[in-house]
Structure 1
Amino acid sequence: MKNSKKEQETNPVEDFLRHFMIYDHVLDLKETGEFNGAADHLLNLLGQGCSENLEETIDLPRAKANSENLDSMPAEYVSALFDQKAKIFDIKLLEILQYSLPTKIHEKINTLNLGPFKRLLDLGCGTGLAAELFEDRIPYKTGVDIFEQMLNLARDKRIYDDLQQCEINDFLDQDHPQKWDLILASELFPYFGSLEDLFAGVARNIEKNGVFLFSAEAVMEPTSDTPPYIMSDSCRFTHTENYLRNLLKQFDFAVIDFTQTTLRQECENPVLGHLVVARYMPA
């Protein structure tokens, strides 16, 4: 029987969630002593490909619908992705998706001999994976995320001096008594298409000569007609290098380093992106 187009398509976000839930069940069974059941579920996890659909397991909002009109990811979509199984998020991200961006950020700052820094602002901090590596190096650390369960996990780690549950642009629009000399935005841009407001907010809240370090998933093989950002098949925004460079220039950031790198793995394929380090140098 011929498969429909929908059945043939692969959604790596759904694949991530499906494996996420299976692995969580494995851990639950192991904790209760059901080792045979845990082994069966783990074999199920390892044996499944990326074509299996998750719709029967979880009701994941479809951000892909009308994606041409989206400037950012709908909050309910991101909430479904991160809030449901936050307790094993770190394990899934590091082991299943081979997520190494926090280490690359730390290595980049060391290689470029940046710092020392006094105040870190971690935008979209999640459970604190990026900030963990700076635990003893930066005296004051602020984390911002919209999802309560992620912030609860970050709070348990005692990495941050201040944690704020807030939408990113809303936080950057607020009046803060002090600015930050290092602002991180790792794995944040895929949930925003248009980045003008975010860059403007970062410029308002960063100290002169402060460092802005961010990652962005790359638009592959762009042409002169390629729009600045595109929603990928995995329901995440990708951005062109030209768009990012133009924004840096527009908001008075001087590029220190602009590198293409592998951000993580999806269905055993590398996800390529940009890792960018820039210094705020207003006139």
Structure 2
Amino acid sequence: MAKKIDEEALGEAYNRALALEKAGDVDAAVAAYEEVLAIDPDDHGGAAVRIAAMGRGETPVKAPDAYVETLFDQHAEVFEDVLVEQLGYHVPMLVRQRLQALKLGPFKRLLDLGCGTGLTGGALRDLCADMTGIDISEKMVEIAHEKDLYETLFVAEVEDFLDDNDEEAFDIISATDVLPYLGALEPLFFGAAENLTPGGLFIFSSETLPEEILAGRAYMVGPHQRFAHADAYVRERLTATGFELVEISDINVRMEDGQPTPGHLVIARYIG
């Protein structure tokens, strides 16, 4: 039986950690976040990624599932307004534009990983005969369901779904705004390969940072608690999991504190 979380102690420790982080007292903030982790080992508040974002501790291989689920459940109702209207997020339309420019499609079966409220599904609906959406947040999936975009929707963690799925393969898999919550990319890329038809497309966005900040690292947690990936690492992992690169484009993923967030839009083909 799971140990009951002391919500009062957790809230006190987390608020103290945030205040210390904001004040620039990194050592004390890290200690407070470690207190948070001791109270809540599943890490609903993302303490581990906040520690990593301050340049301390080990970089996690992914954001904790409990954190991602909680984050998007909490923001589901305002998600599109904040992301699209306030942060200028237009990656789903960029996906559509690049597929059309390269004369790729139409497609039989789309698997939309991290489908959220259905932004990518909406952008690609007329290009796909059948669409399946996956998201870890039940509240996001409920909103996507209300739009009646997808033939099938699942509440699941994307890597687990890819590992467990034994349904018919897909000829296109999308993952927009998924990589910022993953560090190591092998499970995602291998899982995508396992679920694609030969010649199927894998299209995804990623965030990156200048090489002087990445300093030779494959990935790191950036200042906004999101993972940034080195271009070379993305390319190398794609090749290692059976993909050939069709196109990689430099994009602005979103605005953050009034500044563009540099990233890539990647289209790869599974060749086995």
Classify the TM-score, shorter chain.
Answer: 0.7 to 0.9
Q: 2:144 aligns with which of 150, 154, 177?
A: 154
Q: Distance in 2 between matches of 1:84 and 1:238?
A: 23
Q: Distance in 2 between matches of 1:117 and 1:70?
A: 35
Alignment-mate amino acid for residue 270 of structure 1: P
Give the C-alpha shift of residue 83 in structure 1: 0.8
| Counterpart position of 2:22 | 7
Q: Percent identity?
A: 37
1:39-64 Cα shifts (integer Å, max 9, x gaps): xxxxxxxxxxxxxxxxxxxx944232
* Residues 146, 165 of structure 1: 8 Å contact kept: yes
Q: Distance in 2 between matches of 1:239 and 1:280?
A: 21
Count of aligned pairs: 230
* Residues 214, 220 of structure 2: 8 Å contact kept: no
Q: 1:253 aligns with which of 243, 266, 272?
A: 243
* Residues 86, 150 of structure 1: 8 Å contact kept: yes
Alignment-mate amino acid for residue 106 of structure 1: R
| Counterpart position of 2:33 | none
Give the C-alpha shift of residue 272 in structure 1: 0.5
Give the C-alpha shift of residue 219 in structure 1: 2.6
* Residues 243, 271 of structure 2: 8 Å contact kept: yes
1:103-134 Cα shifts (integer Å, max 9, x gaps): 11110101111012100000011001011012
Q: 2:93 aligns with which of 103, 110, 114?
A: 103
Q: Distance in 2 between matches of 1:153 and 1:281?
A: 35
Structure 1 residues 91 and 224, CA, compared in 2 at 3 Å: closer, same or farther?
Answer: closer
| Counterpart position of 1:132 | 122
| Counterpart position of 2:51 | 65
Q: 2:102 aligns with which of 80, 105, 112?
A: 112
| Counterpart position of 2:75 | 85
Alignment-mate amino acid for residue 71 of structure 1: V
Alignment-mate amino acid for residue 271 of structure 1: T
Tell whether 2:191 aligns with 1:176: no
Of residues 73-82 and 242-251 in structure 1, the stretch that sits farther from structure 2 once superposed is 73-82
Q: Distance in 1 between matches of 2:92 and 2:195?
A: 22
* Residues 205, 265 of structure 2: 8 Å contact kept: yes
3-state SS of 2:124 partner: coil
Alignment-mate amino acid for residue 120 of structure 2: A
3-state SS of 1:159 partner: coil
Q: 1:228 aligns with which of 218, 228, 241?
A: 218
1:134-179 Cα shifts (integer Å, max 9, x gaps): 2222110000011100000000000000001111111001142300
| Counterpart position of 2:205 | 215
* Residues 61, 80 of structure 1: 8 Å contact kept: no
| Counterpart position of 1:189 | 179
* Residues 162, 191 of structure 2: 8 Å contact kept: yes
Structure 1 residues 61 and 218, CA, compared in 2 at 3 Å: closer, same or farther?
Answer: closer
Give the C-alpha shift of residue 205 in structure 1: 0.4
Q: Distance in 1 between matches of 2:229 and 2:105?
A: 28
Give the C-alpha shift of residue 68 in structure 1: 2.1
* Residues 155, 163 of structure 1: 8 Å contact kept: yes
3-state SS of 1:135 partner: helix
Alignment-mate amino acid for residue 129 of structure 1: L
Q: Distance in 2 between matches of 1:175 and 1:267?
A: 39
* Residues 70, 137 of structure 2: 8 Å contact kept: no
Structure 1 residues 140 and 224, CA, compared in 2 at 3 Å: closer, same or farther?
Answer: closer
3-state SS of 2:140 partner: helix
Unaligned regions of 5+ residues in structure 1, if any? 10-58
Structure 1 residues 190 and 223, CA, compared in 2 at 3 Å: closer, same or farther?
Answer: closer
Q: Distance in 2 between matches of 1:198 and 1:162?
A: 20
TM-score by length of 2: 0.80
The alignment's C-alpha RMSD in Å is: 1.9
3-state SS of 2:126 partner: coil
* Residues 46, 63 of structure 2: 8 Å contact kept: no
